[in-house]
A and B are shown apart, each in its own frame.
Chain A
Amino acid sequence: MMTPELFLYNVVKQFPRLDVGEHAGKQMVAGMIEIGREQDIVARFKIAIDVPSNFPLSIPKVYEIGNALPKTLDRHFMSDDESACLFVPEEKHKYCHSKTSPLGFMRGPVYGFFFAQACFDLTGKWPLGERSHGFEGIVEYYYEAFGLRHPASVLKVLAVLSAQEMKERWPCPCGRGNRIRSCHRDLLLKLRATLPTDRFLNIAAIIRKGIKHQRVHGSVSDEHQKLL
């Protein structure tokens, strides 16, 4: 079972400005993350990390509590609780999987997030790239991961992901003509292992409604954005 103390123990050597303290009524790992080299610190951010007891099965929530960053979608903070949006949930298998250590998590997506924020403050650009907000960002992920171009082709991927059982002899939903076993097998397995079936079904439902709405009105409605 992961605790804030255990998480801190694993990261404090590389992140010596962190400690366990109370934030928003909960014990969290909190303190300063420094972006830069040893004596060339470019930016400092005061953060708090809500470590779930089943880390890394669940993703820790990371907050910027020093008021250095505006908590907006454009700066990649969630609109509901202002936590940092480190990556789309579909990428959990890359950045917070069963073998991710606390230090790996801190050095990886957490440091990457604040590195990107420091870069954006200086240059106005996101050095690691960014995804569109909300539902569009999710679809972008599927386009990128499977080399797709149209929401309808994402539906085929989602059908495989939400199937009760995936057969490797099926044609790969990416549409290149190979079977799953010699194409996107690993990625499909990781996605199926990391995310619940309901998620894929919900995304598929939104895409279907979106496609229908787009046929009629020429754009994706706000309602469909909110459904996510």
Chain B
Amino acid sequence: MSVSLRAVSSVELPEFDSEVEKYLHDLLNSQDISNDGEELASLRRGKEIVERTIREAFPDSVATIRIGGSIAKDTANKETYDLDLPCYFPNGGNNPGNTLKEIYDAVANVLGARFRIKRKTSAIRILSNEKDSLDLDLHIDVVPGRFVDLSEQDCFLCVNDSDRERLQTNLDTHISHIKGSGLTQVIRLVKIWKHRWVIDIKTFPLELLVIKVLDPYRASVAGFQLNLYVFLKDLAETAAFIGLEDPANPAGNNLHEIWNEKIQRQIAKQAERTLESIALSGWKNTLGGNPEKSKEAKIQVLSSISSGLTTRNKLWAK
């Protein structure tokens, strides 16, 4: 269990800038995944195919397959969206295996026979919609697990390539912890920062970090600009002292693999660099513009920079 050794620091706040606030609002809007949009439609189609594949392979087992992750938590962004598909088998009954590893392998084998997949620590990434297709990533992670008991609340997941064999979690607890924080939009902005600055940290601890850092400032800090600033400043100065706990299993799940001294040092350095960039070049140049351009507008941008290329290397491959 991790213990917080950090004192709540008081951060000197910059002056509120309505233009910056508007920019951040617009940035968020540009990253919305709308219910009618192609992204969600594509994910739903993918979910249907994956779900059908699993159910046809294990007709005697009643798996609970539901949408999890950022889509369920309302923290999804267009430029980095993923669909987490927890696939939890009941405690007892006709499961694809007796152990968590057997269940994981059975699901991976079934999916691997149909799709191009990549095995991860607890999830199975679906990389294409057909085995031999070289289409791009489908953005779907299937997470096989087994409910702890008949109440079907907590769940065990298999953990590959780790000292521990399993972890206990609760999807609803995670979802309500994030959604109930009131900070989902700030989390989305932080995820945009993570993507555009290539911050090497998993999304899960990052979400917990946002809530842990900003919760004490709830009464005194409002708006995206100030919340983001406080988050970055606190991270830059005190990341090493921030302890994180898994809300679904605070006593049982050690988050050291995804939140440790090395990650703390790196993220503190990157937060510092980001603040320097904001001070020098402003928020828009630091976080980047609104990517929602038309295809024609993007082609125009590329045409305009084409003459400035320093080399015109013809691509090859062997």
Contact = CB atoms under 8 A, between A and B. Distances in A.
A87 B315 contact: yes
Given A16-B277, A111-B309, A119-B302, A85 B295 contact: no
Counting chain B residues whose Cβ lies within 8 A of the other chain, the interface size class is 35 or more
B22 to A, nearest CB: 15
A120 to B, nearest CB: 9
A130 B315 contact: yes
B318 A67 contact: no
B302 A122 contact: yes
A133 B302 contact: no
B314 A131 contact: yes
Contact of A41 (B136, B198, B288): B288
Interface size class of A (residues with CB under 8 A): 35 or more
A17 B318 contact: no
B151 to A, nearest CB: 38
A95 B313 contact: yes
B315 A131 contact: yes
Nearest to A107: B310
Given A35-B302, A115-B302, A128-B312, A77 B197 contact: no
A168 interface: no
A112 B317 contact: no
A115 B298 CA distance: 12
Interface stretch (A49-57, A68-76, A190-198, A205-213): A68-76
Interface in A37-52: 37-44, 46
Nearest to B305: A37
A30 interface: yes
B18 interface: no
Contacts of A73: 317-318
Contacts of A86: 313, 315
B284 A91 contact: no
A131 B295 contact: no
B165 interface: no
24 contacts: A19-B270, A34-B288, A36-B302, A37-B301, A37-B304, A40-B293, A70-B135, A74-B317, A76-B315, A85-B315, A85-B318, A91-B314, A94-B313, A95-B313, A109-B311, A109-B313, A112-B312, A113-B313, A113-B315, A115-B306, A122-B295, A122-B299, A128-B314, A131-B315
Q: 4 smallest A-B Cβ distances: which pairs?
A: A76-B315, A108-B311, A39-B289, A131-B316
